[in-house]
Chains A and B, each alone.
Chain A
Amino acid sequence: IAGITQAPTSQILAAGRRMTLRCTQDMRHNAMYWYRQDLGLGLRLIHYSNTAGTTGKGEVPDGYSVSRANTDDFPLTLASAVPSQTSVYFCASSDSNNSPLHFGNGTRLTVT
């Protein structure tokens, strides 16, 4: 089934640990995005990639890094997790600028 796969589904992480959230899509979409969703706030863009080999910073990039080695994969890394990074993380992709976003099922991350 075509779509976006995120892993893990959920994770409890000790503060200071490093963590990579995985995201893979099989729709051959050029653009990919990482968002975090917190209660009472809109989705906030962390990083994005318009095409393989390029990445850009979103609204809340501090403490996160991404890479886009190929079209399908867009991992998000927390180098040294902090409790304020407790959130639900969604990966999304789109075919072009004005196309709707397709979202993965999310990763619920708790940093203790």
Chain B
Amino acid sequence: DTEVTQTPKHLVMGMTNKKSLKCEQHMGHRAMYWYKQKAKKPPELMFVYSYEKLSINESVPSRFSPECPNSSLLNLHLHALQPEDSALYLCASSQERGQLAGVNEQFFGPGTRLTVL
């Protein structure tokens, strides 16, 4: 299995709602990422998990809360979002230090299109 999957594909939520985005991979990758992407802009890194531990938080507001329950799953919990948070949220995974050396490719999931009303 060489695919990263994400659910849901689309999500519409109000500013007072709580929702979660889910990401799954079964490639044995030990690094997983959340990105936010606006139209025709590059993906912006939000969080990085390395061996199920949060290793990078790019100063993301606390209304976004990541969670890595195990090596295959990555969640992003959303609460009290703002309309400007509307974007495509991409999950990605890759090999990590200690895994197969020299392999850097990052695999992206299809994304969740989030609209905040």
Partners in one complex: no
